[in-house]
Amino acid sequence: MLANQLFDIKSIHDSYKKGVTPKDIVTEVYNRIKKVNDDGIFIHLQAIEDIFAQISSLEEMNLSEKPLWGIPFTVKDNIDVEGIPTTAACPAYEYIAKEDAFIVKVLKQAGAICIGKTNLDQFATGLVGIRTPYGAPKNALDEKIIPGGSSCGSAVAVSHQLFSFSLGTDTAGSGRIPAALNNLVGLKPTLGAFSKRGVVPACLTVDTVSVFALNIEDAYDIFEIASKHDEKDPYSKKRPKNKYKDTQNVVVAIPNSKSQIFIDDEIQRKSYQETISLIKEKGFKTIEIDLKPFFEVAQLLYEGTWLAERYTVIGDMIKNQPADILDITRTLIQKAETFSASDVYRDIYRFNELKKEIEPVLEQFDILCLPSMPRVASVKEIEDDPIKANSRLGIYTNFVNLLDLSAIAIPVNKREDGFAGGVTIIANAFEELKLAKFAKYIQKDMSLTYGNSDVEVKLSDDDTFGVSYDEIEVAVVGAHLRGMPLNKDLIKLNARFLYEAKTTPNYKLFKLQGEEILKPGLIQDENGVSIDLEVWAMPIENLGEFERTIPKPLCIGSIELENKKTVKGFLCEPSGLIGAVDISNFGGWKAFLNSKKN
């Protein structure tokens, strides 16, 4: 029944509004898992009966309270889910999680349904996705190509549209390389934006949970929902206020010719250069920079003493149970035994020197646009040269977390050989909104598909995103609508348009009397109709000032929308209806004004 159901968040919610149930969606998830028939995707998959039991407690859909209501997702198996084993792809390491990881708990509270846990490069050590004793998942686009790691199962699962989104982790590119290799969006947030409590660390100080999604809107919405400060996580950070910048005015940095490294893959070079040409054609100012100090930072992560941080996680196993760890994993991390304390400090000193050198470069631009990887690697290539071939994949990714930058890997037009094209865009810490807006803007003129399907990605015409954590949704029905006299009051308070909507069919709209500027009044009435309105995002700190501009009989109250959300918005007190004219039959204020003109 749902074989053609798109699995992006909006499409699933639209189906729910038409009568599809969470049980229907979950059933389709398991049907698709069976059809894909790839045993390498999951390490633990919950029984469908257990998921049915979980969703039986879901209350009626209310997207204001639970914006991920009924949305299926999965997590990498180094992230705890209560009652399910965590292995980090090492059977001897297995334990049963006593509680959900903080981020899993937040997503469940938002209404999402966790179905299972996915495969990974053992202990999140690798960018290839085939360093696992559980059997590697197959790349969703081409089985001859590696799936990418370490978050291989999470990426492959979303590319097959088994889920709307998934969680991975990212230390050196594990949330970006698999996205690029499976035609997905991979959002790697600022360090500390997502809690790491309940996540098995790789390098604790430079790890983050990451998001795989089918489109940029879903990835950013998950970021907004999941980036909650965790008082019990010493690495969790409180998000600063979002900085809004006109998308078209950003300065884009690209690597100079010496820094553009494509290892025996001219098709990859051509794909990247075509994307840069498109960016320039859209009128963006671009500058070229030398990535040499960035590359040197990248080398410190895997070739320097940061390996000792990985050793803190499994050092005892390496000493006491070496046979329980894959040879490749043990060989890489065991190097830490050769480091001295003075070696660690020398690398810290060198890192700070490089960081100082890089800081003025970062000030020259808003966004850095890089290839997601220097080449597309085959499974055979990695099997023949497992260490060198892996390390080459991280040329453009390894430095990002050490420098505390935010990044999103995004699909672009397909390469000329038909394989997925992709770039990664990078900005300063907590500039995920800037990245998302830019990504969406440049993708508008591209021919993109969802994951491994042939279904075209449809993007909205604007570059707006959902409400941010420091904003509140405000519905307007009259003089504050776009193009109306008081819309300037919203703009002045840094509000931004989100979407057009309708109320539930139990409201009435009246033309009020005695106003210098024509205004309507909205009331709730069980014999009413649906009324057109607009929803705007307003900084919470400005809501009080906005309310002070609203004269009686108007007030701010709660308005129920047709899309199952409840938002704050303009209502009218009963006293304002004396002498007012019922104009509900027009369905909205603009329709009423247009009728007067005609």
Q: Which of 15, 66, 117, 150 is catalytic?
A: 150
Beta bridge partners of 536: 474, 497
| Cβ neighbours, 10 Å, residue 331 | 12
Whether 406 is a known active-site residue: answer no
Beta strand 520-524 with 507-511: parallel, antiparallel or unpaired? antiparallel
Q: 216-226 vs 432-443: helix axis angle to the nearest 10?
A: 170
Q: How far apart are CA 172 and CA 147, in angstroms?
A: 16
Whether 76 is a known active-site residue: answer yes
**Could you tell me the CA-to-CA distances from 26 to 46, 114, 412 in Å, in that order?**
11, 10, 30
**At residue 522, what are phi and psi to the nearest 5 degrees?**
-105, 130
Q: Which of 15, 66, 76, 434 is catalytic?
A: 76
| Cβ neighbours, 10 Å, residue 264 | 9
Whether 342 is a known active-site residue: answer no
The number of angstroms, rounded, from the C-alpha of 574 to the middle of its chain's C-alpha atoms is 44
Q: How far apart are CA 201 and CA 184, in angstroms?
A: 24
191 near 199, Cβ under 8 Å?
no
Q: How far apart are CA 479 and CA 598, in angstroms?
A: 19
Q: Which of 154, 164, 166, 174 is catalytic?
A: 174
CB within 8 Å of 437: residues ≥ 6 apart? 247, 463, 465
- In angstroms, how far is the first alpha carbon of the chain from the final one? 47
**At residue 434, what are phi and psi to the nearest 5 degrees?**
-60, -45
Full strand arrangement of the beta sheet holding 471-476: 496-502, 532-539, 471-476, 566-572, 554-560
For residue 338 the two structure tokens come to 């050769």
Q: How far apart are CA 174 and CA 127, in angstroms?
A: 6
The residues assigned a catalytic role are 76, 150, 174
